[in-house]
Copies of this chain bind each other. A is one copy, B any other.
Amino acid sequence: MLSVEDSVRTLPTFTDVAAAADRLQGRVLRTPVWRSARLDARTGRRVFLKCENLQHVGAFKYRGALNALLHRQAAGTPPGLVATHSSGNHGAALARAARELGWECGVVVPRDTSAAKLANIRAQGVEPLLCEPGLAAREAATARLIAERGAELVHPFDDARVIAGQGTAAVELLAEVPHLDVLSAPVGGGGLLGGSALAARAMARECRVIGVEPELADDAARSFRSGARVGFATPPPTLADGLRGSIGALPFELCRRHVDDVLTVSEAGIVRAMRVMLEECCLLIEPSSAVPVAALLEGRLGAPGDAVGIILSGGNVDLGLCPFLAGRATT
């Protein structure tokens, strides 16, 4: 059997995703696959939206976090303290998973985390530990927590158990809609895209897998094109607060092997996509979730008539901060 360290750091396969799907059965919500006649008419595609904004804690992140802890539990580890750093959704997800399974949990979040996401972590009974924005500060604060309190890290994306868990959303989508021509997900750390790509390669060989990220946070696109992983020293100022981190080592390797393309979209495109989803689909999604929708609206996902699946990653948004809701001009 692999050690914990090895099982975390080994590149996951579809077997890991399938095992995660078994483990999570009945513990995560089987979120609906949403269709909208208006969106189909507007885009000329048949669009299938996997609504992880309706998942527990309002994001797909619950899948990966819970899978990591269930994996530890299956290995016979008694409950202890887990810790992580998070732009918000992974923190809430780990806090909820820990509570479900009787673990303690510490969550480090950057100071610029949205009020909705802070409230979401507190709703799981965990008081977030604030740090300065940026990966270095996040990692340093988490390292202190681990050293001082003997916590075990559940990384938000660079963890094979987390990636395998995130892939289960795509498993459900492809089980329901087997003949997708394109499957798309946003890319931040890359856990969702990596896990989704594992599912698509195994379940729908012809399906193209396309990651989308903000132009302002284009590390994954640049890494994908150059073949060498690059990142940002300071978090880029994109509205998509879930995608400010840089792509992790394991997700990057999965992208290299299994992803067909990584596109980028503008901030104006993200805002427009949020507005279109609200006005034409009656769905509120957070800016990170709007990123692949923006590419869809620009005609850049698949061809006319194609079946396009998009994983709507989350719905935790401060209504007061929505640019178009606050009445500012958009596009």
Interface locus among A77-85, A209-217, A257-265, A275-283:
A275-283
Contacts of A285 in B (CB 8 A): 282
Asked if A319 and B279 make an inter-chain contact with CB atoms under 8 angstroms apart, the answer reads yes
Interface locus among A167-175, A230-238, A321-329:
A321-329
The CA of A238 and the CA of B37, in the complex, are separated in Å by 29
Interface locus among A17-25, A28-36, A293-301:
A28-36
Contacts of A275 in B (CB 8 A): 319
Contacts of A325 in B (CB 8 A): 319, 325
Contact with B along A136-154 (1 / 0, CB 8 A): 0000000000000000000
A32 CB to closest chain B CB, in angstroms? 5
A320 CB to closest chain B CB, in angstroms? 7
Asked if A282 and B281 make an inter-chain contact with CB atoms under 8 angstroms apart, the answer reads no
In the complex, how many residues of chain A place their beta carbon closer than 8 angstroms to a beta carbon of chain B? 28
Query: Would you list which residues of chain A between 233 and 285 have a CB under 8 Å from chain B?
Result: 275, 278-279, 281-285
What is the interface of chain A mostly: helix, strand, loop, or mixed?
mixed
User: Which of A34, A282, A319 has most B Cβ within 10 Å?
Assistant: A282
Query: Would you list which residues of chain A between 13 and 58 have a CB under 8 Å from chain B?
Result: 29, 32-38, 51, 53-54, 56, 58
A259 CB to closest chain B CB, in angstroms? 27
Contacts of A35 in B (CB 8 A): 29, 32, 54
Asked if B278 and A319 make an inter-chain contact with CB atoms under 8 angstroms apart, the answer reads yes
Contacts of A29 in B (CB 8 A): 35, 37
Instruction: Knowing A32-B32, A326-B327, say if A281 contacts B54 (CB, 8 Å).
Output: yes
Contacts of A281 in B (CB 8 A): 54
The CA of A285 and the CA of B38, in the complex, are separated in Å by 15
Give the B-binding residues of A (Cβ under 8 A): 29, 32-38, 51, 53-54, 56, 58, 275, 278-279, 281-285, 315, 319-320, 324-327
